[in-house]
Structure 1
């Protein structure tokens, strides 16, 4: 099982979430975050912005679903400009359901 984390533009969140939900990916965690990429922020006239508002989404999926989730995120979060974001895929060693106190099946 993998954890897909994507840092995207806040204005693209609705498009990404609707596309993921349409394909059956409903369990998504969303957080408002700030950060900057390798460009180190942006310069607008005399004003410098070192920390930019972004949205972090996280979704746990089976290994075979990673490609589809990454495809959806990169398609619907893309504006073609610097700062569109990044997608990170991490291995999940264990996943537990708090209510049942049971380990999820299918997790390596």
Structure 2
């Protein structure tokens, strides 16, 4: 199992979410985060003063998938998240050693529940 962590622009989220849902990956965690990178700061004027904001808002998308599904999820994020401009974000793939369903105590990949045909539920 792998955990895919993607830091993306807000406007890229909905197309990514829709395609992952259609592909059978409805389980995502989303966090609003701020960070800095090559994009550097944006200087704005507020009440006559110049302010530089070095922390840019992003969304952090997290998804744990079976090893065989990593490429599908990463390709979807890259396809919809890429604008070609600095600040598009990053994708990280991390190993997951164990997983458990709290409700039943089940463990392993069977708790990941990829949902074939999930688009029919939309």
Q: TM-score, normalization: structure 2?
A: 0.79
Q: What SS is found at the alignment partner of 2:12?
A: helix
Aligned: 1:95 with 2:94 = no
| Alpha-carbon separation, structure 1, partners of 2:64 and 2:55 | 27
| Structure having the larger proportion of residues in strand | 1
Q: CA deviation at 1:22?
A: 1.2
| Alpha-carbon separation, structure 2, partners of 1:81 and 1:35 | 16
Q: CA deviation at 1:41?
A: 2.5
| Structure having the larger proportion of residues in helix | 2
Aligned: 1:68 with 2:72 = yes
Q: Structure 1 residues 71, 40: closer, same or farther in 2, change over 3 A?
A: closer
Match of 1:51 among 39, 51, 55: 55
- The residue that corresponds to 1:17 in the other structure is 17
Q: Deviations over 1:48-95 (max 9, x none)?
A: 221111000011111111111110000011111100000000000001
Q: CA RMSD in A?
A: 1.8
Q: Deviations over 1:10-69 (max 9, x none)?
A: 1111111011111111111111111112x2632346542211110000111111111111
Q: CA deviation at 1:102?
A: 2.4
Structure 2, unaligned runs of 5 or more? 45-49, 112-122
| Contact 1:41–1:48, Cα closer than 8 Å, also in 2 | no
Larger C-alpha radius of gyration, 1 or 2?
Answer: 2
- The residue that corresponds to 2:85 in the other structure is 81
Q: Structure 1 residues 14, 40: closer, same or farther in 2, change over 3 A?
A: closer
Structure 1, unaligned runs of 5 or more? none
How many residues were matched structurally? 106
